[in-house]
Amino acid sequence: MSTSSKFYQPRHPEDSPFFKVLEANFDTFELNYPALYQSKHGFWRPVIRKSLEKFMRCGDLREGFAIVRCKDCGDEKFVAFSCKQRSCCPSCDKKRSIILGRRLTTEIIQPVAHRQWVFTIPKRLRIYYRMDRRLLGRLSRCAYETMRELFRSETANDTVLPGMFSAIQSFGDLLNFHPHIHSIVTEGAYTEDDKFIPRPYVNLRVALTIWEDKVCDMMLREEKISQEVVNQIRNQKHSGFSIDNSVRIPAGDNDGIHRLAEYIARSPLSLARMISVDPDGSVVYRASNKSCIPYPLMGDETFKTGVKRNFQAFKPLDFLAEVTQHIPNKGEHQIRFYGRYSNKGRGYRQKLADKQEEINRLLDIRHRVEEIKIRSKFKLYWAAMIRLVFEVDPLQCQKCGGEMKIVGFIDSEAKARDILISSGLCRDRKTRPPPKALSPPQKPVKYPLLKEPPKAEDFGDFTCGEYIEPVPDYETCDMVSPSNHEVAEWTE
């Protein structure tokens, strides 16, 4: 067996165009950030360096690896770790979205029709979400409250709950800052005794009014805007708020849910759309569709927009500024479940399921069938988690198709290096050039809507030590992470 066959198709992330721009420019970007970008993007967030440093080691065997062995033919492989960072590693974002799709369709989504709902806010409000990222979660909550109120009025029942899954997106098609909420929502709502009341036709105008009320009330409560600003926005012919629910997924269309979940939880950055990178690191980035949208001018996103286009050319530091503004802070959940699909709702369903299980236990054969089903579900989940943590699926032998088991970890960098050097497979790391300070600093932009300049504490947790994400980063409106109890179950 040749040594190279021990490797599962190394991905060489250092060859990607994003990696190259990052490697050549990141230190300069960080050094010049206060002068060039702070007035537009807020204070430097340490999570940016932490995330990107991890991204640059994603899938790199030199950082350590797992050893897996086939139970049938004894073949061994080395498998690199992936970085699990959010919104800056397209590879890990992709895996996370696939796991999410699978989790939704196997554990959460009920067999009823769903719709995608997209909630947007006026341009002039966007800046507050960049300066105070906690507002993003509140915006997502407003979207849920809108749906709950809408279905309560549509069904004339004050206690019904829709099932809702939301992804907070902070990005537009050309990496610009554009906070909005994508949701998958049941086409109807559940009563307290768990009866589903379908509502295929709802009044969108009513929905929009509720959405406007919810967001304006929240922004007032947070003391971000004054009543005068609210009046200005709402007295315009087009308030700038919008709602779209045109995408429908029929009951039982799990593939449709899966595709949509992958789409709405996708990475802000697409490597395929970095269509050219100059030697100096300048990037041309294209939009996902051909239609042209106005791209905001650098430094003045709030009020003006630039020429309509379907691509954007970036200087390297500007490109990094646009990409890194979408990296979430530690503990900032981008995926949320509400109502019938929240933990609480799922707990209620669990109680019903427990009752059912008791009945099944009495009917012995049924009980055994259920048991097998539960076991295979966790097996599937475990396999999906492994795929997220490691670079490739290590559980299937490429030689004989048998099942691979993890038999060891090489987690010390020095040890990994020794093994790789002795195999003749260690690529040398390039040394990064020292960062350059640029001058002169950009003129600060004034934001007339801000009542006072943002303070450091407005930017969330700066004191994070290790950047560990619960994986996957699910959260519900009840702030209980379902991943906690499932961790115990993986380690069977």
Contacting positions for Zn ion (CB under 5 A): 58, 70, 72-73, 75, 82-83, 89, 92, 397, 399-400, 402
Residue 428's contacts (CB-CB under 8 Å, 6 or more residues apart) are none
Alpha helices in 104-162, H assignment, sequence order: 126-131, 134-155
**Residue 315 Cβ vs Zn ion, minimum distance, rounded to whole Å:** 25
Residue 138 beta carbon to Zn ion: minimum distance, rounded to whole angstroms: 29
Cβ proximity of 425 and 7 under 8 Å:
yes
Instruction: From 69, 2, 99, 66, select the one nearest 396 (Cα to Cα).
Output: 69
Q: Tell the residue number behind the tokens 């895996």, with chain if given.
A: 95
**At closest approach, how far in Å is the CB of 386 from Zn ion?**
15
Our CB check for Zn ion shows the closer of 301 and 391 to be: 391
- Give CA 37 to chain center in angstroms: 24
CB nearer to Zn ion: pick between 82 and 120: 82
- Least distance in Å: CB of 403 to Zn ion? 8
Decide: 295 and 312 in contact? Cβ < 8 Å: yes
Least distance in angstroms from the C-beta of 92 to Zn ion? 3
Enumerate the H helices of 308-342 as residue ranges. Answer: 316-324
Please, which residues bridge with residue 68 across strands? Answer: 77, 406
Q: Which is nearer to Zn ion, 215 or 404 (CB)?
A: 404
Q: Which is nearer to Zn ion, 58 or 298 (CB)?
A: 58
Q: Which helix (H) or strand (E) holds 163?
A: strand 163-171
User: Nearer Cβ to Zn ion, position 14 or 370?
Assistant: 14
Altogether, the residues listed in the chain come to a count of 492
Q: Could you give the CA distance from residue 419 to residue 262 in angstroms, rounded to a whole number?
A: 37
Helix H or strand E encompassing 205: helix 204-221
**Residue with smaller CB distance to Zn ion, 82 or 146:** 82
11 or 234: CB nearest Zn ion: 11
Beta-bridged to residue 169, according to DSSP, are 180
CB-based contacts of 272, cutoff 8 Å, min separation 6: none
Minimum distance of Zn ion from residue 362's CB (angstroms): 43
Q: What is d(CA 100, CA 97) in angstroms, rounded to the nearest whole number?
A: 5
Shortest spacing between CB 400 and Zn ion, in angstroms: 3
Nearest approach, Cβ of residue 21 and Zn ion (Å)? 16
| Residue 184 and residue 116 in contact, taking contact as beta carbons nearer than 8 Å | yes
CB of 86 to Zn ion, least distance (A): 10
CB closer to Zn ion, 51 vs 239? 51
Nearer CB in complex with Zn ion: 11/123: 11
Q: Nearer Cβ to Zn ion, position 94 or 134?
A: 94
- Give per-residue burial for 301-336: e unless 16+ CB within 10 Å, then b: bbeeeeeeeeebebebbbbbbbbbbbbbbbebbbbb
Closest CA to 432 of 2, 8, 19, 121: 19
Q: How far is the CB of 23 from Zn ion (least distance, A)?
A: 15
